[in-house]
């Protein structure tokens, strides 16, 4: 039994949410968002540190 078939008996919204979450995870969107957050944090730290 594949994971896709086991999702069939769940409510439509839940299976849709899980499949979209799987797509987001596969596209490395979370990794990019995490990297962007760290990058922006470093930029803010450097620019605010340069003012003093």
DSSP percent split of the chain into helix, strand, coil, nearest 5: 80, 0, 20
Domain ranges of the chain: 16-51
pTM of the model: 0.41
Note down pLDDT in tens along the chain; length 52 residues. 455 565 566 678 888 888 888 887 778 877 888 999 999 999 998 888 765 5
- Give the per-residue pLDDT at 40: 94
- Give the per-residue pLDDT at 46: 86
Residues near 30 by beta carbon (within 8 Å), at least 6 away in sequence = 24
- Give the per-residue pLDDT at 52: 52
């Amino acid at each position: 039994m594949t994971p896709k078939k086991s999702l069939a008996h769940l409510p439509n919204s839940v299976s849709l949410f899980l499949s979209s979450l799987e797509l987001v995870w596969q596209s490395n969107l979370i990794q990019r968002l995490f990297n962007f957050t760290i990058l922006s944090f470093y930029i803010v730290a450097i620019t605010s540190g340069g003012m003093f």
